[in-house]
Amino acid sequence: MKALGRQIVVEFYGCNQDTLNDVAAIKRSMRGAALAAGATIVQDAFHLFNPHGVSGVVVIAESHLAIHTWPEYGYAAVDLFTCGDDVSPDLAFQHLKEHLGATSFSCMEMKRGILDTPGLDELRFKPEGANALEVADAN
Amino acid sequence: MKALGRQIVVEFYGCNQDTLNDVAAIKRSMRGAALAAGATIVQDAFHLFNPHGVSGVVVIAESHLAIHTWPEYGYAAVDLFTCGDDVSPDLAFQHLKEHLGATSFSCMEMKRGILDTPGLDELRFKPEGANALEVADAN
């Protein structure tokens, strides 16, 4: 089952509540997670809510990482969506787990875009001219 | 099972390929989907990849909507993450399905942040001072 993308859905519990309400710390952790995964950061958007809680997304060349925090519950909802075999969402997960100080978590992985398409085995990553068809042509 | 958030994970197939590669159209559709859901748009980030494909996120006060398109396969991966009972991700889904011209799709809904927390029944939405504890106090 070859898929275009992988998405790791994480529930982080027992996180450091101060960290979860610190938009600069969350942004740093999320950008650090993207880099730890080997991803290329394209853009980000982070927002601190009133009275508390942070939402943020890092758009990467290989898809996106998203987080929503509820400091009052020590809880953060995280999505790590990547495509291609050149990035490791597992490393992003480890980075975030450590930086949020999560004491427990649950995790689920989904394949996104399961296609029965000739040449898809050759897909390395989506952007920068290396789409499946071109790689297939080059071989 | 009371949860902080709902996430609808959608695979759209057979979409209009021109639309999937039109960053302005995708941005318009995604922002329209947020408004259709009754959400409050906080920020967005959209990017057109070379040679093709669009990634984009709309951060809403009630969480986020994300899309990644593969025009070459007529495929789009969509996540509609909302919190609170004041928004309807189902309406966002319908809006996108129509605007992307999807001929088929698959859909999955997850509950995010299932907590066994007193007062959580009172949660209406997260931002703007109406968090669970304050609402519980007010009653």
The residue that leads in pLDDT, A1 or A110, is A110
Q: Kindly indicate whether the ipTM for this predicted assembly is greater than 0.90, answering yes or no.
A: no
pLDDT at B100 over 50: yes
- Could you tell me the strand order of the sheet in which B3-13 lies? B41-48, B54-60, B63-70, B75-83, B3-13, B104-114
Is A52 marked active-site?
A: no
Chain A residues whose beta carbon lies within 8 Å of the beta carbon of residue B110: 9
Residue B55 designated active-site: no
Question: Would you list the DSSP string of A29-74?
Answer: HHHHHHHHTT--EEEEEEEEPSSS-EEEEEEETTEEEEEEEEGGGT
pLDDT, one tens digit per residue, over B5-48 is 999 999 999 999 999 999 999 999 999 999 999 999 999 999 99
A9 has a chain B CB within 8 A of its CB: yes
Distance in Å, alpha carbon of A66 to nearest chain B alpha carbon = 8
pTM comes to 0.85
- Tens of pLDDT, residue by residue over A55-65, are 999 999 999 99
User: How far is residue B47 from each of residues A83, B24, B31, B91, measured CA to CA in Å?
Assistant: 15, 10, 14, 24
Q: Report yes or no: A63 and A121 within 8 Å, Cβ to Cβ.
A: no
Residues in A closer than 8 angstroms to B63, CB to CB, are: 55, 68
Structure tokens at B43: 């920020």
Contacts of A31 (CB under 8 A, 6+ apart): A41, A44, A58
The confidence band for A89, taking pLDDT boundaries of 50, 70 and 90, is very high
Catalytic residue check, A83: yes
Reported as a pLDDT band with limits 50, 70 and 90, residue B53 is very high
